[in-house]
Amino acid sequence: MEVLVFGAGSLGSLLGGLLARAHDVTLVGREPHVSAVQADGLRITGAETLETRPAATTDATGASADLALVTVKAYDTEAAGRALATGDYGAVCSLQNGMGNEDVLADAVRAPVLAGTVTYGAGLVDPGHVEWRGRGTITLGAWRPADDVAAAERVAAALRAADLNVTTTVDVRRRLWEKLAVNAAINPVTALARVGNGALTEEPLAGLARTAAVETAGVARATGVAISDETAADAAATVVRETARNRSSMLQDVTRGRRTEIDAINGYVVDRAAATDRAAPVNRTLAALIGGWERGAGVGPSGDE
């Protein structure tokens, strides 16, 4: 299968490198990472050590593939959609953080759109070198059309052929809301407190994270997605325990002075709460604090990244 990975950062590079063991893969990323991969291939260390040689480019205009995996930051989804709209794809699958990405892609491309959640851990060490920080799972489901089970199964089979741990679901919207509750709980709290995930096992941060997750579950229910408060809170607590030594992606962004995905995580919860006449004060506060930091650092939507 021909696979284009749009967004060759840490996760995109890891997945692309693993997929290159069984498929023809092209990474779409930025310099100097792309040039390093072109020259010497992609080196993966950590959970396994291997070297693969996917193709790499900075420009996907007019490209085509059986599958496009989208792994860009949520604020780059519109740009990704515009680029993908110039090409031809059998399916487009978002493996991104936050909510709203799939609708943006569905509005831009003519191919079936899938949504997915990923728990593989990755970090970009140097250009051409990604660290595999934890084995995980990928869960896929059809987004548009919502009943296109065949497309999800076809993509899952291709990923399994490269020894990735993949399952499919007909309830991908609920899975995404559950993941959103986890991200809403962990990402901004760790970023604001400048702590690793494990710090959220103790008060006062544990209670703050739990409230953010429970608020998110309430908003999900208001939009017609059935997630209990306990399910959301337990999911967040489980991820905190299992990733206690990790630093959240939002903490990494803040530490590096980069724009975060707050608008697609807690900001999305706040927007959907307003649309359904619900209150989400903790999510609103977390979103405002991170947004204020972004503006002060000059990396927000109107800043220069």
187 and 82 both lie in a single domain:
no
115 and 132 both lie in a single domain:
yes
105 and 186 both lie in a single domain:
no
Averaged pLDDT score across all residues of the chain: 96
| Interval 202-245: pLDDT, tens | 999 999 999 999 999 999 999 999 999 999 999 999 999 988 98
| Interval 139-187: pLDDT, tens | 999 999 999 999 999 999 999 999 999 999 999 999 999 999 999 999 9
CA distance 214 to 221: 11
Is 179 a known active-site residue? Answer: yes
CA distance 11 to 65: 19
Q: How many domains does the chain have?
A: 2
pLDDT at residue 245, as a whole number: 86
Q: Tell me whether residue 303 is in a domain.
A: no
Other residues' Cβ atoms within 10 Å of the Cβ of residue 106 = 19
CA distance 228 to 9: 33
CA distance 18 to 159: 9
Residues 6+ apart with CB under 8 A from 235: 178, 181, 182, 213
More confident residue, 54 or 121: 54
Nearest CA-CA partner of 108 in 134, 79, 142, 129: 79
Last residue of one domain, picked from the residues 170, 191, 226: 170
pTM (two decimals) = 0.93
Burial class of 302 by CB neighbour count within 10 A (0 to 12, 13 to 18, 19+): exposed
Burial class of 2 by CB neighbour count within 10 A (0 to 12, 13 to 18, 19+): middle
Nearest CA-CA partner of 260 in 222, 219, 289: 289
Statement: residue 305 has pLDDT above 50: no
CA distance 142 to 169: 8
Residue 163: left if φ>0, alpha if ψ -120 to 50, beta else—which one? Answer: left
Statement: residue 121 has pLDDT above 80: yes
Q: Which of 129, 173, 179, 272 is catalytic?
A: 179
Virtual torsion, Cα 149, 137, 15, 190, nearest 10 deg: 120
Last residue of one domain, picked from the residues 140, 170, 200: 170
Statement: residue 77 has pLDDT above 70: yes
Q: How confident is the model at residue 292 (pLDDT cuts 50, 70, 90)?
A: very high
CATH label of the domain that carries residue 286: 1.10.1040.10
89 and 185 both lie in a single domain:
no
Bridge partners of residue 279, in order along the sequence: none
- From residue 41, how far is each of 51, 190, 299 by CA, in Å? 7, 34, 32
**How long is the chain?**
305
The stretches of the chain forming alpha helices (DSSP H) are 10-19, 33-40, 77-84, 101-108, 149-160, 172-193, 205-222, 229-242, 249-255, 266-275, 281-297
**Do residues 154 and 91 touch, judged by C-beta distance below 8 A?**
yes
CB burial of 48-61 (b: ≥16 within 10 Å; e: otherwise) equals eeeebebebbeebe
254 and 152 both lie in a single domain:
no
119 and 191 both lie in a single domain:
no
132 and 165 both lie in a single domain:
yes
**Do residues 47 and 186 touch, judged by C-beta distance below 8 A?**
no
Tokens of 166: 């993949």
119 and 263 both lie in a single domain:
no
pLDDT at residue 304, as a whole number: 45
Q: Is the CA virtual torsion 140, 25, 107, 99 positive or negative?
A: positive
122 and 35 both lie in a single domain:
yes
Q: Tell me whether residue 304 is in a domain.
A: no
Q: How confident is the model at residue 301 (pLDDT cuts 50, 70, 90)?
A: confident
Q: How confident is the model at residue 302 (pLDDT cuts 50, 70, 90)?
A: low
pLDDT at residue 207, as a whole number: 98
**Owning domain of residue 166:** 2-170
| Interval 1-40: pLDDT, tens | 999 999 999 999 999 999 999 999 999 999 999 999 999 9
